[in-house]
Amino acid sequence: MIMKLAMAGLLATTVMAVVPAQAETLRLLTWGSYAPDELVKKFEEKYPDITVEVTFSNNEEMIAKLRATGGAGFDLAQPSHDRIYAVQQEYNIYKPLDLSKINTDVMQDKLLEGVKANTTIDGEVYAVPHQWGTSGLMANKTMAPDVKAWGDLCDPQYKGKTSMRLKRTILLGMAFDMGEDPFAAYADLDKYQSILDKVADKLIACKDNLKAYWKGGDDLSAMMMSGEIVASETWDSTAYKLYGENKDIVFVPPKTGALAWIDTFAIPRKGEADDAAYKWINFVLEPENVKIMSASTGAIAAVEGGKDLLPDDKKAAVNAAFTDADIDNLKFFANIPAGVEDMEGKTLEKIKAATGSE
């Protein structure tokens, strides 16, 4: 507590010291590639009195940063839709959005309603969608033509030639693959624990089949491009990027459905530039800006016809990967109730610590 106070105090004073009276600073806490220079420059030209400062991060670190300051230090954050509800209840780090200031008309209804439903607490909405994408499989068609499901990563015919990231995505994917519905089990944590135990057994047995756990897009790309692995769990954007370089490497939505996430806009509780934040939200959802953004991120904007605003090569990759049926089959990540991260964390530790026959 002492530390928190001290840090908050320090931050407050520095912030007051650096922000000039007229010019406003928009401190953006977002994913790498979610604030391309071109777009930032364009925004600053349009609003000359606003300066944009960008900090790149990921879901967990975004929340940790905001938690450390009680929601201060940033004016706009972009966590995934499933990271709002429980986090807000637990740590109170976001503030409700004023939807009248957001141009919600351009957003795709289904996604907007989905996010709103997931992030409404006491009648207040805390997040709106920005972009969405999926996690699924990636395979080299020539070397691993049969990879169709999460479980195929454990197929002995690809022994030593598959990979995954040891994070919650693979736990959920594998659960679906084993015929369970983990999101439904969020309501009954005992049930969820039993699913996790089953998944852990499967993944421990599977360890031998993997080459390594990948840790980021770079090492995954390197292993895939060099042919050291032939199939892997992946983010779709990574797969699209590799498709651009090697047409044999495609994104494969698993037959149980690709897991879909929506990155949102949320305003930290102690944000100091709400107006600038709303301006940014509306700005990046303008069609010509969506194009710039999607070219940088490889994700699809949550606007009507978002897929068509992708650059041509990415569009080709998406078309090569998804059929309409696949899109219907998407499994959107459900809100994570309190305590689930801990259960999942323990399961992941157990898998990591288990010594296979290596």
Partner 1 sequence: MMQKDIKRLSLILLFAPFALWIFLLIVLPHLGMFYISVREKVGPRMYEFGLGNYINFFAEPIYWNTLIRTGSMSLLVTALALLLGFPIAYYIAKIAGNRTRGALFLMCLIPLWVSDLIRAFGWILLLRETGIISSSLQWAGVINTPIEFLYNDAAVIMGLVYTVILFMIVPLVSTLDGMDNSMIEAGYNLGGNGPTVLRRIIIPYAMPGIVSGCIVVFMLTAGSYLTPILLGGKNSSWFTEQIYDQFITRYNWESGAAFGFLLLAFTSLVVWGGLKLSGQTLNSTVAKS
Distance (Å, whole) CA 130 – CA 264 = 5
Closest residue by Cα to residue 29 from 69, 61, 70, 67: 61
Distance (Å, whole) CA 316 – CA 179 = 31
Cα R_g (the chain), whole angstroms: 21
Candidate ranges 2-10, 100-108, 116-124, 287-295; the one touching partner 1 (CB under 8 A): 2-10
219 forms part of the interface with partner 1 (CB under 8 A)? yes
CB of 9 to partner 1, least distance (A): 12
Distance (Å, whole) CA 160 – CA 140 = 15
38 forms part of the interface with partner 1 (CB under 8 A)? no
CB of 4 to partner 1, least distance (A): 7
CB of 274 to partner 1, least distance (A): 25
Distance (Å, whole) CA 155 – CA 149 = 10
Question: Could you tell me what percentage of the chain is helix, strand and coil, using 3-state DSSP and rounding each to the nearest 5?
Answer: 50, 20, 30
Q: How many CB atoms lie within 10 A of CB 109?
A: 10
291 forms part of the interface with partner 1 (CB under 8 A)? no
228 forms part of the interface with partner 1 (CB under 8 A)? yes
109 forms part of the interface with partner 1 (CB under 8 A)? no
Distance (Å, whole) CA 334 – CA 81 = 8
64 forms part of the interface with partner 1 (CB under 8 A)? yes
222 forms part of the interface with partner 1 (CB under 8 A)? yes
Taking CB under 8 A as the criterion, the residue among 227, 245, 247, 319 binding partner 1 is: 227
Q: List residues binding partner 1 (CB under 8 A).
A: 1-4, 6, 60-61, 63-64, 67, 87, 89-92, 167, 207, 210-213, 215, 219, 222-223, 226-228, 338, 341-342, 344-346, 348-350, 352-356, 358
